[in-house]
Amino acid sequence: MKLSLAFLLCFLSVVIQASQRAVTDEGNIVILNDNGTWLFENPESIEKKEIPLNQNKFNKSSSSIFKLKSTKNNTQVWLDAKKWSFKKANSQAEAEYSFTLKGQDLYGMLITERVQLGLETLTDVALENAKAAAPDAKITKKEYRIVNGNKVIYMEMQGTIQGANFTYFGHYFSNSSGTTQLLVFTGTSLTETYKGDIQNILNGFSVQK
């Protein structure tokens, strides 16, 4: 799995390198802008399914006492530094921070941008970018959540890269300071093993005061 980590860090970013037209698996034409945004060419033809709101409360764990602040926008993530190692990416990387559950096969990253996008647009872009590396990528769960007082979209995706099945879990957020994707991923067969750790780091998402 570690051999695929660089692949995964690349394809989940919202950054698109060149302005161009593309066709989704559903046959819809999208315009990809060089500033990382995109639009449907004929938005009136796209039917949106209503995204449900999870009524449960999602708050950071009492063990998540280490705070990582974004320098690009006003978001941050709280984590348990005894369990998670992290590093700040270089200026050329898509993710601002990357994470690894120490000694385990669970990885994460914080992708931050200064451009504000609608939440549903942000998740649509994430799915299309996922399909660029894993053509069979699909959404298996999608809902709104209130995490530490902030409305996010929680989304799970599954896909196959180089013959390995992966599952991705993410919180997607946008406000006037920019957009943020807090993502965690592992082999699909390991998702139950890491269920608690996945939710703990995702629930560490918050906005800087």
pLDDT digits (tens, 9 = 90+) for 11-59: 443 333 334 555 555 555 566 665 555 555 555 444 567 899 999 999 9
Q: Are strands 150-161 and 164-175 parallel, antiparallel or unpaired?
A: antiparallel
User: pTM here?
Assistant: 0.79
Domain span holding position 169: 2-207
Measured distance CA(106)–CA(8) in Å, rounded: 12
Taking a C-beta distance cutoff of 8 angstroms, is the pair 181, 110 a contact?
Answer: yes
Structural domains counted in the chain: 1
Residue 98 amino acid letter = S
Q: Which residue has the tokens 């698996």?
A: 25
Exposed / middle / buried, residue 135 (Cβ in 10 Å: 0-12, 13-18, 19+): exposed
130/77: higher pLDDT: 77
pLDDT of residue 70: 96
Res. 149 pLDDT band, cuts 50 70 90: very high
Taking a C-beta distance cutoff of 8 angstroms, is the pair 130, 11 a contact?
Answer: yes
CATH number at residue 126: 3.40.1000.10
Cross-sheet strand order for the sheet of 84-88: 84-88, 97-101, 107-113, 178-187, 164-175, 150-161, 138-147
Share of the chain above pLDDT 70, in %: 76
Share of the chain above pLDDT 90, in %: 61
Residue 181 amino acid letter = Q
Cα–Cα distances in Å, from 197 out to 84, 183, 193?
A: 9, 12, 9
State pLDDT tens for residues 89-142.
776 567 899 999 999 999 999 999 999 988 998 898 888 888 888 889 999 999
pLDDT of residue 134: 86
Measured distance CA(56)–CA(89) in Å, rounded: 33
pLDDT of residue 12: 42
Measured distance CA(58)–CA(67) in Å, rounded: 17
